[in-house]
């Protein structure tokens, strides 16, 4: 009897790009893709961080390069993708947060969060897929959303707005791009201990409230997202598009 063969999680021969890759989730996902065989480009505004990350990946035996890119500069984004070969995997990770009560939010706060988390994310994808379509490159788009794209949260109105937008855009991306063999999915994490979240998690009351909502009883680590990204990037998820992989320890289950 011939048994079915598990699709490969390997990414040999594929090019990947991770935005916001200097630290935290972005760096971890870049490392995961490189470990699976992809040639990874780490992109961010800060050269020192991504150069250090790319060097660490190379030291571990992977293939990686650093590319300074401000995803808020839409002209620079367009030029960046137009000037290099198409990628097969995009991790759309750059983002920010300004936690405030909704009545304290200023127009500057709104622009800072929505412009980066939604507008820049949208146009990074647009520039990326135009290049993919032009070269006939099939592949996978992975957007880093949040559990807050599925529920609400106190002091999180801007962040929730941006992450719910990512969920909606993702579904439409999947429909527009299916014909070209380009898949689009979201990873929606709970609170992950990173340089961005660490200051909030130092507050004992806030941390206790978060832990009470995560049914598995612990905060997330970047390692918890690495397998999810590898799954969505690889042939193991060949029929998965337009969905959200919620990695939240049970937060949204009730």
Asked, for residue 214, whether it belongs to a domain, the answer is: yes
Asked, for residue 43, whether it belongs to a domain, the answer is: yes
**CB of 99 within 8 A of CB of 161?**
no
What is the mean pLDDT of the segment spanning 143-160?
95
Residue 197 scores a pLDDT above 90: no
Provide the domain count of the chain. 1
Asked, for residue 248, whether it belongs to a domain, the answer is: yes
What is the mean pLDDT of the segment spanning 156-183?
98
Residue 233 scores a pLDDT above 90: yes
Asked, for residue 75, whether it belongs to a domain, the answer is: yes
- pLDDT number for residue 198: 84
Closest-CA residue to 32 (of 18, 19, 13):
18
Global confidence as pTM = 0.96
For 52-95, what is each residue's pLDDT tens digit?
999 999 999 999 999 999 999 999 999 999 999 999 999 999 99
Asked, for residue 7, whether it belongs to a domain, the answer is: no
The domain containing residue 151 runs over which residues?
A: 15-253
Asked, for residue 4, whether it belongs to a domain, the answer is: no
What is the mean pLDDT of the segment spanning 198-221?
92
Asked, for residue 114, whether it belongs to a domain, the answer is: yes
Asked, for residue 6, whether it belongs to a domain, the answer is: no
At 174, which CATH number? 3.40.50.720
Residue 196 scores a pLDDT above 90: no
- pLDDT number for residue 194: 84
Measured CA to CA, the distance from residue 169 to residue 179 in angstroms comes to 17
**CA 207 vs CA 84, 212, 214: distances in Å:** 43, 9, 11
Residues designated as active site: 159
Phi, psi of 9 (to 5 degrees): -95, 0
């Amino acid at each position: 009897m011939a048994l079915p063969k598990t699709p490969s999680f390997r990414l040999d021969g594929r090019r990947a790009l991770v935005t916001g890759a200097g630290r935290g989730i972005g760096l971890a996902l870049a490392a995961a893709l490189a470990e699976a065989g992809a040639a990874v480009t780490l992109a961010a505004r800060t050269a020192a961080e991504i150069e250090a990350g790319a060097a660490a990946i190379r030291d571990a035996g992977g293939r990686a390069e650093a590319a300074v890119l401000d995803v808020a500069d839409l002209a620079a984004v367009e030029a960046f993708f137009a000037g290099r070969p198409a990628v097969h995997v995009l991790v759309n990770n750059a983002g920010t947060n300004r936690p405030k009560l909704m009545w304290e939010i200023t127009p500057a706060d709104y622009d800072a969060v929505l412009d980066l988390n939604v507008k820049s994310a949208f146009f990074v994808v647009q520039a990326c897929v135009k290049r993919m379509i032009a070269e006939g490159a099939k592949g996978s788009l992975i957007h880093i959303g949040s559990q807050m794209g599925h529920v609400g949260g106190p002091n999180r109105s801007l962040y929730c707005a941006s992450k719910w937008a990512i969920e909606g855009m993702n579904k439409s991306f999947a429909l527009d791009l299916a014909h070209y063999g380009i898949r689009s999915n979201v990873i929606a994490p709970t609170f992950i201990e990173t340089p961005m979240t660490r200051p909030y998690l130092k507050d004992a009351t806030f941390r206790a409230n978060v832990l009470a909502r995560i049914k598995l009883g612990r905060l997330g680590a970047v390692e918890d997202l690495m397998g999810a990204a590898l799954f969505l990037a690889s042939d193991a998820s060949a029929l998965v598009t337009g969905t959200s992989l919620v990695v939240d320890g049970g937060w949204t289950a009730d």
